Chains A and B, each alone.
Chain A
Amino acid sequence: MRFDTSLDRVPTRATVWCAEVDLGSRTARRLAELGVRPGVPLTVQSRTSGHGLIVSVGGVRVALDAAAASGIHVLTAAPVPLPVPA
């Protein structure tokens, strides 16, 4: 899947769109349950120690460490839905 960067490189307060979660099935499922899924907008709220960050997704605040943030690939612009074939 196409993506622009990973979440750990996104500046604070910027909003990006989740493109892909490359973290293994257990972590990916936990993230999905918390709302971090391909296509949803994510806003980086702040940085934490050890290069982690707090991300806002649909009103939920999720703390991620550096490993989790680097495994979330994001788009810097809203994804455009593919046209539906006639």
Chain B
Amino acid sequence: MTSTDPAGLARPSLEPPAQAPTDAPHAAGPAPGAPSPRAGRSAPSCHGDSGGAGAGPHAARVALLGAPNVGKSTLFNAITGARRTVGNWPGTTVEVGTGVWPQRSGAPTPWTVLDLPGAYSLDPASPDEALTRDIVLGTATTDRGHRAHDATEAPDVAVVAIDAAHLARSLYLVAQLREHAVPTVTAMTMGDVAARRGTRVDPQALQDYLGVPVVPVDPRRGVGIDALAARVADALRAAESTGCGCGPAAGRAAALPPGPTTIDDLDAADARFAWIDGAVRAAVTHDTSAREPWSDRVDRVVTAPVLGPMIFLAVMWLVFQVTTTVAAPLQDALDSFFTGPVTDAATGLLGAIGLRETPVSGFVVDGLIAGVGMLLTFVPLMALMFLLLALLEDSGYMARAAVVTDRLMRRLGLPGQAFLPLVVGFGCNVPAISATRILGHARQRLLVALLVPFTSCSARLTVYVMLASVFFPEHAGTVVFAMYLTSIALVVLVGMALRTTLWRTMGSDPLVLHLPPYQRPTARLTLSVMWTRLEGFLRTAGGIIVATVSLVWLLQQVPVRSGSFGAVDVADSLYGVLAQAISPLFGPAGFDQWQSVSALIVGFVAKEAVISSWAQTYAVADSSTGAGAQALAAHIESAFAASSGGHTVAAVLAFMVFLLAYTPCVATLAAQRREIGWRWTAFGIAIQLSVAYVLAVLVFQIGSKIGG
């Protein structure tokens, strides 16, 4: 799977999916010394997750780039006030974010800021790196493969985030940008980490050597942003006045190697590394008395051969244990609030306008308030889980987890980095599908995109918690943890099955993973990440719940067997009849009950709506008991007991396993279609439904035999 580039150097073919950026040779970029682009700008359109609009078609465009995990997205957030997902692990940004550099952050006029995926160089090893290269050089393509940006639409200034603690790995990109005559300003991050390691970087000496401005910043605390804006403004003015993309300090720069089009690529790379070594010698001093960094001592423990995996499992267990136990009382309080005062007030209000005991009352009280209220009771739980995962990411632990799980990933023919999108999947499958772009091989991306739906997303957690607290009140945390272990097992087993059948020849690069230094999580960053995810969950779930509640309500009003529109028993409605037609299929799995089967059908749209659908069905069927959590639990308990012939535990476990393994939601399918196409998406759905059904039947049949 190699091709030959113009320099005659064999390089892997990336085989990008239809929508991924192409791996065009970098000779397609502007020639060194070409005039800096100025006019005809437009907002980027490469990928969906734009993170916000730019500053308008005539605003200057500032691209933010750098090696993975140097704090680009944190810097982007500090500049724009946006809340992009950030994490102390490589590969957090896989799509382009767009924002505005406002005047309050030092810009004389608002600029458009692009947050690009991390890249060590302009020689991409994966589609996300190719995207960065193409945008910076103005050769990005649209979803249909056309050029989205011609040379006139390249960014006006590149701000390269460089890591003071690991300067050498940050500067290769700077060397290449200068060869391509891209006006460049560097923002030096991680000064605190460097200081702790006994490393001191002289920004002035570095600036003199590089020939581009060097601005120390601390985006986690919002320090240095105004100074950075001032240097970007200088660079914009200098580029406009000279027409050369050299940056304001270029005159003093140390000699740079010639561009890759004039000498062999390997020689060019050697010359760049020599230049980088010179920069490090000129600007960096090490305190040789500095003690061994404590992070090395921690690494020795958390990545140790036996202890490391045990610590990883213990950490994950703790996350789910803390999440379920701490959130429980808050959930109860919120549930009481919605089923008590809120429901009473709505009922009173509807009574006052003469709508009591009407279908409208059913829609508002049993549908909207029950559904949305049920969703809101999960806010403390989700907030706590997002908070704990954000702490783990911000601290740097997640990169170590990728090392620990590397061996497991190898069995699937995947590199350790494949663990990262899978971990993202435990939060939400949709961004996880996009995160597969950090992988270099097309087959690896396809395999991971097919495995991501088996990672148990946070929406499924709501149903586990609800069922576990009803049926296993003493061991709810452990049961939920077991579901996550089952999820991991499914990823491994399905991955191994695909590997041994479809992808026997799939190669895999050796693991080479940069371990970012540990850092103390900041409240500002952690809370910001938590809120971004919580907001995303609420926005998605809120919209889906209102939509599905409305649809379910409508289907429940349509008579099939008896009654008239708006006055029909739910079992005789279109909703009930459809679910009853399907439910016998689930007899062998122990939950042949139309109420639960209909919840699963709704769950195909989104798992967030499973509980609200249950609540709505039972509340409409029996309005005397209301829609509270206790009433719902009682209904579900008796339904499972009846359908399973007394083997309630086995039936509940079978239901939970089915819920874990079948298609997560339509949004995930849309993300899969974008990354791997319809055919593979349909293949994935077939696998998910087959695995879910077979597993649910096995769990019930075996569980009921051994007395569940």
Interface residues of A (CB under 8 A from B): 23-27, 29-35, 37, 45-50, 52, 54, 56, 58-65, 67-68, 71
Contacts and interface: CB of A to CB of B under 8 A. Distances in A.
Given A34-B169, A50-B407, A54-B299, A59 B123 contact: no
A56 B309 contact: no
B407 A67 contact: no
A85 B300 CA distance: 46
Given A26-B11, A29-B123, A54 B510 contact: no
B299 A45 contact: yes
A48 B120 contact: no
A34 B511 CA distance: 13
Contact of B303 (A29, A33, A54, A71): A54
A49 B407 contact: yes
B471 interface: no
Contacts of B303: 46, 48-49, 54, 63
Nearest to B193: A59
Interface string B250-262: 0000000000000
Given A23-B510, A33-B172, A63-B515, A50 B410 contact: yes
Given A65-B410, A65-B416, A49 B308 contact: yes
A31 B510 CA distance: 11
Contacts of B304: 46-49
Interface of B: 9-12, 67, 120-121, 123, 125, 165-166, 168-169, 172, 197, 199, 269, 273, 280, 286, 295-296, 299-300, 303-306, 308-309, 399, 402-404, 406-407, 410, 416, 440, 509-515, 517
Contacts of A45: 296, 299-300
A33 B165 CA distance: 15
29 contacts: A25-B12, A26-B125, A27-B509, A29-B269, A33-B120, A33-B169, A34-B120, A35-B166, A46-B300, A47-B305, A48-B305, A49-B406, A50-B407, A50-B410, A52-B406, A52-B407, A54-B296, A54-B299, A54-B303, A54-B403, A56-B296, A60-B169, A60-B514, A61-B515, A63-B303, A63-B402, A63-B406, A64-B512, A67-B511
A44 to B, nearest CB: 11
Nearest to A69: B510
Contacts of B404: 48-49
Best-buried of A32, A47, A63 by chain B (most CB within 10 Å)? A63
Contacts of A50: 305, 406-407, 410
A64 B515 contact: no
Given A34-B514, A54-B299, A62-B512, A29 B125 contact: yes
Nearest to B515: A61
A64 B121 CA distance: 20
B121 A63 contact: no
B403 A63 contact: yes
Contacts of A63: 303, 399, 402-403, 406, 416, 511-515
B125 A35 contact: no
A67 B512 CA distance: 10
A46 B305 CA distance: 10
Contact of B512 (A27, A46, A47): A27
A79 B308 CA distance: 35
A67 B510 contact: yes
Contacts of B168: 35, 58, 60
A68 to B, nearest CB: 4
A59 B296 CA distance: 11
A56 B171 CA distance: 18
Nearest to A35: B168
Contact of B10 (A25, A34, A52, A71): A25
B199 A46 contact: no
Nearest to B197: A59
Sort A-B residue pairs by CB-CB distance and give the 4 closest, nearest first: A68-B510, A50-B407, A65-B511, A33-B120
Contact of A58 (B166, B296, B402, B511): B166
A57 to B, nearest CB: 9
Nearest to B305: A49
A67 B407 CA distance: 11
A26 B12 contact: yes
B515 A54 contact: yes
Given A26-B12, A46-B303, A50-B407, A62 B515 contact: yes
A35 B165 CA distance: 13
Best-buried of B166, B295, B517 by chain A (most CB within 10 Å)? B166
A48 B514 contact: no
B166 A60 contact: yes
Nearest to B270: A37
A60 B199 CA distance: 12
A62 B510 contact: no
